[in-house]
């Protein structure tokens, strides 16, 4: 098994014992294929009917009407289908669809996607706002920025405003500008490790986690400052590491004090569990418990999701 021993030791302390065996299987077994109907270009029933006529087996998702999954062996057939090639279906892990649902962007709002490439979550939010209001997608890495632009164009979301920039500094340009911000933060990507592929975890280490934490702290500061009073932020990662999840929310609560609050997440997803109360002797503030971990399953990869509301204007100096 290619997974680092220290990672596995940490994982045993993070995942509930009754879910650990299932979690370990997800590092080995091929995952199901998640996908979303792109309602900017087509209708849900047309896609489902067409897939079934092509001999595929779309399984519906109870918590999101536009999502479905297929067995792992049908991945190539789906990717090669007219539905994906034409942009009417977007292939994406189901866990990645949760943060935009929690953010619940509405037509007419000003919405910011801070780390947007390759654009799956941006497209989902674009389907929700449908060009009414402002949706801005930001990406720092040039190659990923071009991929983002191409994905938006091909999937009928040309109305999205794009910007190549470092997310840490967006607040200086757009302080207090947005009703909703999505921060899918760069992370150690532990949820995407594969036991049969050493490349997926080759660069993992505690130092890597520490590097990510420094960046995440800067990004969440920028995200909160970019919100209007009353605005909401979803912070999410695809890692198990508490330092990058609960630790970042605890940091934000300390940084901004009463200016922000963590809200409960009402979305009913079977794989969701409450956030951790503590890690390595550090007890997290009570509000952190409202955040949710998605434990990996046959259809979903590991994720962390937190919903934050800005109560008032956060002082630059806090």
pLDDT of residue 316: 47
Tell me the pLDDT tens digit for each residue of 61-120.
999 999 999 999 999 999 999 999 999 999 999 999 999 999 999 999 999 999 999 999
Question: What is the CATH code of the structural domain delimited by 5-16+94-310?
Answer: 3.40.50.150
Q: What are the catalytic residues? A: 238
Fold of domain 32-92: Alpha-Beta Plaits (3.30.70)
Which residues, including other chains, have CB under 8 Å from residue 262's CB and lie 6 or more apart?
A: 249, 253, 287, 288, 290, 291, 306, 307, 308
Q: Yes or no: say if 286 and 250 are a contact pair by the CB < 8 Å rule.
A: no
Report the alpha-carbon distance of residue 203 to residue 205 in Å, rounded.
6
Sign of CA dihedral 29, 118, 52, 297: positive
Q: Yes or no: say if 25 and 72 are a contact pair by the CB < 8 Å rule.
A: no
Residue spans per domain, the chain: 5-16+94-310, 32-92
Closest CA to 34 of 4, 59, 65, 63: 59
Q: Within 13 Å of residue 154, how many CA atoms lie on the same side as its CB?
A: 17
Q: Yes or no: say if 132 and 108 are a contact pair by the CB < 8 Å rule.
A: yes
The edge-to-edge listing of strands for the beta sheet with 89-91 is 59-61, 64-70, 33-37, 89-91
Tell me the pLDDT tens digit for each residue of 169-183.
999 999 999 999 999
> What is the mean pLDDT of the segment spanning 27-37?
96
Q: How confident is the model at residue 312 (pLDDT cuts 50, 70, 90)?
A: confident
Tell me the pLDDT tens digit for each residue of 232-283.
999 999 999 999 999 999 999 999 999 999 999 999 999 999 999 999 999 9
Tell me the pLDDT tens digit for each residue of 9-24.
999 999 999 999 999 9
Tell me the pLDDT tens digit for each residue of 196-218.
999 999 999 999 999 999 999 99
User: φ, ψ for residue 173 (rounded to 5)?
Assistant: -90, -35
């Amino acid at each position: 098994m290619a997974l680092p021993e220290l990672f596995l030791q940490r994982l045993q302390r993070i995942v509930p014992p009754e879910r650990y065996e299932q979690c370990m299987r997800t590092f080995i077994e091929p995952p199901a294929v998640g996908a979303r109907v792109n309602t900017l270009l087509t209708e849900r029933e047309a896609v489902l009917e067409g897939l079934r006529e092509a001999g595929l087996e779309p399984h519906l998702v109870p918590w999101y009407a536009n999502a479905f999954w297929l067995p792992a062996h049908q991945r190539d057939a789906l990717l090669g289908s007219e539905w994906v090639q034409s942009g009417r279906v977007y292939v994406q892990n189901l866990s990645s669809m949760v943060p935009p649902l929690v953010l619940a962007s509405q037509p007419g709002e000003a919405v910011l996607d801070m780390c947007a490439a390759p654009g799956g979550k941006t497209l989902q939010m674009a389907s929700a706002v449908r060009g009414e209001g402002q949706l801005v997608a930001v990406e720092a890495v040039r190659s990923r920025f071009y991929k983002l632009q191409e994905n938006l164009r091909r999937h009928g979301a040309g109305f999205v405003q794009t910007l190549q920039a470092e997310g840490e500094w967006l607040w200086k340009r757009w302080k207090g500008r947005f009703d909703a911000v999505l921060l899918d933060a760069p992370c150690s990507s532990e949820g995407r490790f594969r036991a049969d592929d050493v490349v997926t975890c080759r660069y993992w280490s505690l130092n890597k986690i520490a590097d990510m934490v420094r960046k995440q702290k800067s990004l969440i500061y920028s995200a909160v400052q970019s919100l209007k009073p009353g605005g909401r932020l979803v912070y999410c990662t695809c890692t198990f590491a508490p330092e990058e999840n609960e630790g970042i929310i605890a940091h934000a609560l300390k940084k901004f004090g009463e200016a922000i609050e963590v809200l409960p997440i009402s979305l009913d997803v079977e794989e969701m569990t409450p956030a951790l109360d503590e890690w390595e002797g550090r007890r997290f503030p009570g509000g952190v418990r409202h955040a949710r971990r998605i434990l990996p399953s046959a259809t979903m990869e590991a994720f962390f999701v937190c919903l934050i509301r800005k109560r008032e204007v956060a002082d630059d100096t806090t």
